[in-house]
Structure 1
Amino acid sequence: MGSCGTTFSVSVKKRDIIAAALPVQDHWLPMSNLDLLLPPLDVGVFFCYKNSLPLDESVAVVKKSLAQALAQFYPLAGEVVQNNLGEPELLCNNRGVDFIHAHADMELKNIDLHHPDESVERKLVPLKKQGVLVVQVTELRCGGLVIGCSFDHRVADAYSINIFLTAWAEIAQSKPISSLPSFRRSMLIPRHPPIMNTFYDKLFLPLSSLPPPRSFSPINPLISRIYYMEAKDISLLQSKSSFNGNPKRSKLVSFTAFLWKIMAECEDGLNTCKMGVVVNGRERLDKVNFDKLSLSSTMPCSMQNYFGNVLSIPYGEASSSELKEMPLSRVADMVHEFVCPAMTEEHFLGLIDWVELHRPEPAVAKIYVKMDENDGEAIVVSSGQRFPVDSIDFGWGKPQFGSYHFPWGGQTGYVMPMPSTRKNGDWIVYMHLLEKHLDLVETKGMNVFKPLTPSYLDL
């Protein structure tokens, strides 16, 4: 990797606040019941460009188009505040987005993207101190630049941010916006009366049910790594998952099953391990909303445009020793079995009702919680296959690389596979895992997960 891994510092040239280009009347926007399942976490995303316009010109383009994009995506220019019930709410007051223009005395080809904790965290992806969104443009010694953002997960999921990023780049190129956002919370209102279903007690937990913190438990920090997977290896996993007459499993189910088997190899004295998958509910809820909302409305009412969180996290738990012995096809069956119930309209309608029946008490996805000392380790897989890395062109070419970055601070691992900019079926895989699990990824999975290198990215 040559001089990769060289440490570098980032200096701030200028700080600004970018408000929406059009005036926004102050108003409150409630969180939906599905937003309320998210704790106050920030998610990062970044894009690396090998070349750009003259740097000051590039920064001017990014700033101007951001102000124009915020006119449509105005919640991102607001603030999250508490209402009188103690629940978060969006104050759409156009406080603006903190914008940082920075410089790194480093060439893109020498940035060690395989180890983003050292190279990306708080260097190329900024720390959000206030507001909903922060943006940083970092110019590099080679004439390239990196655009990094952090956003409040309570306001948007990755699907929503993908809509925003695409629109922002389209505006920069004076193109029409391909997908206008909808903030219609009426699309996610509970039924009247809400229907109680104890099924959701298996997946989500009111905060009052959490065990007290165990001060004697050592906390092992999770570590971030970025790998790539070649298309042929993904296809091989898929064919092994569908072996022996099994139904053909999706690439994501096959990938998740393979990761679960690797995780089970951990000789840590724990008998079980958990695997969760983030499910996007938009397609499940589209039909019910078209029935419920007037199609003559001028507002986009398809859930495909909905800006916010529409997520559930079903998970499975299994014996580590059994997982190790099972063929990949059987583990893929298990992943399919726990994910399948969440792939329905009724699942999301029921989850909205479940939150309503517990409000205003906050709740959390159970896979993020260790209920006792002997609870097995857990990992959540979130598909980033809709990540529009190829579309984030501000006028000087497509990014050479892009990735989400989510070192969220808990004890549950997080993995997101995304499409490669090579457009050849390869995946880029962001992992935030315990060191013992990363060690297994790099030994048991070494033929599948390859460390991201400048040569792979053609830097």
Structure 2
Amino acid sequence: MGSIEGYRAVENNFTVTVTKEEVVAAVLPLQEHWLPLSNLDLLLPPLDVGVFFCYDKPAATGTAVVGALKKGLAEALVSFYALAGEVVTNSVDEPELLCNNRGVDFVEAEADVELRSLDLYNPDDSIEGKLVPQKKNGVLAIQATFLRCGGIVVACSFDHRIADAYSANMFLVSWAHLAQLSQSAKPTISTLDSRPCFRRSLLSPRRPAVIHPSIDRMFVPVSELPPPKQPSAESLSDPVISRIYYITADQLNHIQSLANSSASNVVGDGVKRTKLESFCAFLWRMVAASANSKRVITKMGIVVDGRRRLSDGRDKQKASLMGSYFGNVLSIPYGEESARELTGKSLSWVADKVHEFLEDALTEEHFLGLVDWVEAHRPGGAVASIYVGGGEEGEEDESSAFVVSSGQRFPEEKVDFGWGRPVFGSYHFPWGGDAGYVMPMPSPVGKGDWVVYMHLRKGQLEKIESEAGQVFRPLTWDYLLH
């Protein structure tokens, strides 16, 4: 496994003991008010997303570390007041945010394990239910866990209906910045470079509505969902599990070159398939290759952030507001192909298919139309079709689905609470549905490498490891500490 000084064999059967629980509210009094969810927030089911950061032993004492975390949090919640509220149901049975400064549940804990013994490759055993808190109340929960070696893991769980990854990143960077300043004599609250924007009018529906037919394919009203199916024996024997891998820059460049090997992939002035498009095409083929039949329909969705699409530069004020907008501004276009097509064609062909279905959601008009579409179906709720499952009509049992959400803005290097940047950080999203979830992020090692959190069926991951082990390499401390 390597010769890094201080390395230990991985441990999963360690004990985490909660030593203190409290609620941290905003340091300044806030007037209670209601904040409606936007139409795009209403596309999200009640799911919690986790994120965690691992730090080497801080120079400060444990009391000082926790004090800085809490003080920075209390000050950050003045601007990010939505995270200190509660989601309630309004008179038309839709979720709404009550900004009442109930605060954030903050847990202190101790774990009988060393940082370099955490099995990051297998977060279901090392992270889930141990180091990332289970959110019980409010919008956000935080856990600070001190390890046997003196290291610390700081983790959060947040309600996805209130914040997407972009919004969570804004909060994490601000929290870390304010925690740093709390350890000095400098003022804190007034020093944030940018404040979150909660102006829901930025996502108001149009009158009259303009809705492209493609949106009816991407999203489905909750009222039209089929009844839930009983888990099949096959799915029970092939559970959805989580793994974390790293991919070297050389491998990413090689995949991109294969995806661009066809002349059809070079258009106009030489624009090529992006690394994300190429990676998604490669992964789509690998998941299809794990199918037990060539008839199986494999669906892949890609999360698209609409902030830049809704602020194309014509209106500088709107562009600035969208750049700091706090909430969900997401769409999930998807493609579906049979395993026969995906495995029988070149990677460049698959990359063409990825580009084709992505194009539908890369415009301002798409996101404006999506806001209009949700308005037309209120109240009642809606979800992305990719999560519903099923393939072609009459073949509902012959399908699999997963979503890729780009984490290239993951702010790992900026989440420094005053004792150095984390040695590792990752999202953690074992959301519990049948569809898989994949999040590629920049590697803390740098050099253009990626770290990829993958939540797929065990059989799919086994196929990927057996046939593309040179690409998807299990994340180890040996890699991180070189």
- Shorter chain as denominator, the TM-score bin is over 0.9
- TM-score, normalised to structure 2's length? 0.91
Structure 2, unpaired ranges of 5+ = 2-7, 182-187, 267-271
Q: How does 1:371-410 map to 2 (within 5 A)?
A: 371=390, 373-410=396-433
Contact 2:211–2:370 at 8 Å: present in 1 too?
A: no
Contact 1:42–1:150 at 8 Å: present in 2 too?
A: yes
Q: Structure 1: which amino acid aligns with 2:466?
A: T
Which of 229, 232, 254 lines up with 1:236 in the alignment? 254
Residue deviations 1:285-339 (CA, integer Å, cap 9, x gap)? 0148938xxx4x9xx9521100000000000001211111211111111100000
Instruction: Report the Cα offset of residue 177 of structure 1.
Output: 2.1
1:167 aligns with 2:163: no
Contact 1:28–1:89 at 8 Å: present in 2 too?
A: yes
Aligned to 1:326: 345
Instruction: Report the Cα offset of residue 216 of structure 1.
Output: 6.1
1:257 aligns with 2:281: yes
Residue deviations 1:358-381 (CA, integer Å, cap 9, x gap)? 000111100001246334101100
Structure 1, unpaired ranges of 5+ = none
Aligned to 2:19: 13
Contact 1:114–1:453 at 8 Å: present in 2 too?
A: yes
Aligned to 2:269: none
* Alpha-carbon distance in 2 for matches of 1:280, 1:408: 20
Aligned to 1:272: 297
Q: How does 1:33-432 map to 2 (within 5 A)?
A: 33-52=39-58, 53-174=60-181, 176-215=191-230, 217-218=232-233, 219-220=235-236, 221-245=239-263, 246-247=265-266, 248-269=272-293, 270-287=295-312, 290=315, 295=317, 301-371=320-390, 373-432=396-455
Contact 1:229–1:450 at 8 Å: present in 2 too?
A: yes
Q: Structure 1: which amino acid aligns with 2:253?
A: S
Residue deviations 1:400-456 (CA, integer Å, cap 9, x gap)? 000000000000000000011112111110000011111112112201000011111
Q: Residues 329 and 233 of structure 1: is their aligned pair in 2 closer, same or farther, counting only changes over 3 Å?
A: same
Contact 1:418–1:429 at 8 Å: present in 2 too?
A: yes
Count matched residues.
453
Which of 475, 478, 481 lines up with 1:452 in the alignment? 475
Helix, strand or coil: the match of 2:20? Answer: strand
* Alpha-carbon distance in 2 for matches of 1:216, 1:62: 42
* Alpha-carbon distance in 2 for matches of 1:283, 1:41: 25
* Alpha-carbon distance in 1 for matches of 2:12, 2:405: 31
- TM-score, normalised to structure 1's length? 0.96
Helix, strand or coil: the match of 1:228? Answer: strand
Contact 1:404–1:430 at 8 Å: present in 2 too?
A: yes
1:32 aligns with 2:38: yes
Contact 2:68–2:180 at 8 Å: present in 1 too?
A: no
Q: Structure 2: which amino acid aligns with 1:317?
A: E
1:22 aligns with 2:28: yes
* Alpha-carbon distance in 1 for matches of 2:97, 2:32: 10
Residue deviations 1:235-255 (CA, integer Å, cap 9, x gap)? 111111111332221110000
Task: Between 36-45 and 327-336, report the one with greater CA deviation.
Answer: 327-336
Contact 1:196–1:357 at 8 Å: present in 2 too?
A: no
Q: Structure 2: which amino acid aligns with 1:251?
A: K
* Alpha-carbon distance in 2 for matches of 1:6, 1:128: 22
Q: Residues 148 and 111 of structure 1: is their aligned pair in 2 closer, same or farther, counting only changes over 3 Å?
A: same
Helix, strand or coil: the match of 1:282? Answer: coil
* Alpha-carbon distance in 1 for matches of 2:468, 2:194: 38
**Percent of residue pairs bearing the same amino acid type:** 57
Contact 1:289–1:303 at 8 Å: present in 2 too?
A: no
* Alpha-carbon distance in 2 for matches of 1:67, 1:250: 40
Q: Structure 1: which amino acid aligns with 2:198?
A: F
Give the root-mean-square deviation of aligned CA atoms: 1.6
Instruction: Report the Cα offset of residue 86 of structure 1.
Output: 0.4
* Alpha-carbon distance in 1 for matches of 2:375, 2:71: 40
* Alpha-carbon distance in 1 for matches of 2:241, 2:378: 34
Helix, strand or coil: the match of 2:309? Answer: helix
Helix, strand or coil: the match of 1:99? Answer: strand
Helix, strand or coil: the match of 2:88? Answer: strand
Helix, strand or coil: the match of 2:403? Answer: strand
* Alpha-carbon distance in 2 for matches of 1:254, 1:14: 46
Q: Structure 2: which amino acid aligns with 1:368?
A: Y
Instruction: Report the Cα offset of residue 5 of structure 1.
Output: 3.2
* Alpha-carbon distance in 1 for matches of 2:33, 2:164: 22
Contact 2:11–2:113 at 8 Å: present in 1 too?
A: no
Q: Structure 2: which amino acid aligns with 1:61?
A: A
Q: Structure 2: which amino acid aligns with 1:394?
A: F
Helix, strand or coil: the match of 2:438? Answer: strand
Helix, strand or coil: the match of 1:249? Answer: coil
Q: Structure 1: which amino acid aligns with 2:26?
A: A
Residue deviations 1:144-167 (CA, integer Å, cap 9, x gap)? 100000000000000100010011
Helix, strand or coil: the match of 1:135? Answer: strand
Helix, strand or coil: the match of 1:283? Answer: coil
Q: Residues 289 and 244 of structure 1: is their aligned pair in 2 closer, same or farther, counting only changes over 3 Å?
A: closer
Instruction: Report the Cα offset of residue 180 of structure 1.
Output: 1.3
